[in-house]
Amino acid sequence: MINLYIIKIFSYACCITISALGLNLIYGYTGLFSLGHAAFMGIGAYLSALLTKSFSSYGYLVYTGAIILSVISTFLISYLIAIPILKLKSDYLGIATLGFGIIVKVLLDNSDKVFPQMGGSRGMLTIPNFTNLPIVLLSLIAVILIMRNLIYSKFGRALLAIREDENAAYAMGIDVYKQKLLSFALGSAFAGFSGALYAHLYCFLHPSNFDFLRSIDLMLIIVLGGLGSMSGTIIASFLWVFILEGLRIILPQAILDWRLVIYPLLLILLMLLRPQGLFGNKELLWLKREYP
């Protein structure tokens, strides 16, 4: 029983890591302040669940198809959203993405008016359980590999240049706007991928799983891990999930309430004592910066 729970939590942590890596690409590496990342997770989750639920008899075939389709759709949707929104800078970009997240949540709340099987604010039930530990683990490894290879290439260098100094990036002949669009869309596609995996892990979706508080959680994770550090994001995601979710089974009910009081205090303390996050921009093992 406990083992099963730990496997679930572990798989969940893998999903969160994939999504957080996407946000790190957007904010940590490119410097685009996004507070609506969970919305893309939600889009991926609901879209894939809608597909697998409607064609559940096809089993893993439709699951694979649904995942691929959610990744492509979140990529395209976020690209289209980004075209106007990325004209905004820093805090304003954050506000606009936060607004987008809230709009998506409201749409999900009302989704049952168009697709009754999406359940709206009652939540979407009985999604087939296709996601298992090997699948999330392989997905996570694939995402880490893709991200690492992207970061240490022409594309990743363009993003870093933009984050460091946008005007200098222009002067380096970098098409700043296009690279920003790509970074945002790619990071969001990671979130869509993670959402699709998540939907078939817990087999239940609710719009509040993807509201702006979840976006903020993801932001917390990447800042805690260290902006611009993949190792940091991976470790912070797992720590975050295990400390917050895992402790639920260990602690008695009386202390459980205090969990959510102590957690923000730790957060405030960490921001003060380790402003650069656990890892800064350092990497571990083969994630280390490789020079060409």
- As a whole number of angstroms, the distance between CA 290 and CA 292 comes to 6
Taking the least distance from each CB to another protein, the nearer of 134 and 257 is 257
The token pair at 115 is 């697709």
Least distance CB 253 / another protein (angstroms): 11
User: How many degrees, rounded to 5, is the angle at CA 236 between CA 238 and CA 148?
Assistant: 95
Taking the least distance from each CB to another protein, the nearer of 29 and 130 is 29
DSSP secondary structure of 188-235: HHHHHHHHHHHHHHHS-B-GGGGSHHHHHHHHHHHHHH-TT-HHHHHH
Least distance CB 76 / another protein (angstroms): 16
Least distance CB 289 / another protein (angstroms): 9
* Contact (CB, 8 A) for 139 and 71: no
- As a whole number of angstroms, the distance between CA 184 and CA 162 comes to 13
Least distance CB 280 / another protein (angstroms): 10
Residue numbers of the site for another protein (CB under 8 A)?
84-85, 87-89, 91-92, 94-96, 98-100, 102-103, 106-107, 109-110, 121, 146, 149-150, 153-155, 157-158, 160-161, 164-165, 167-176, 212-213, 216, 219-220, 223, 227, 257-258, 260-261, 263-265, 267-268, 271-272, 275, 281, 291-292
| Closest by Cα among 70, 38, 76 to 51 | 70
Taking the least distance from each CB to another protein, the nearer of 38 and 62 is 38
Least distance CB 7 / another protein (angstroms): 28
DSSP state of 289: -
| Closest by Cα among 195, 217, 216 to 206 | 195
Phi and psi at residue 55, in whole multiples of 5°?
-120, 45
Least distance CB 266 / another protein (angstroms): 8
Taking the least distance from each CB to another protein, the nearer of 126 and 178 is 178
Taking the least distance from each CB to another protein, the nearer of 69 and 102 is 102
Least distance CB 135 / another protein (angstroms): 20
Taking the least distance from each CB to another protein, the nearer of 134 and 275 is 275
Taking the least distance from each CB to another protein, the nearer of 138 and 164 is 164
* Contact (CB, 8 A) for 97 and 218: no
What type of residue is 138? Answer: L
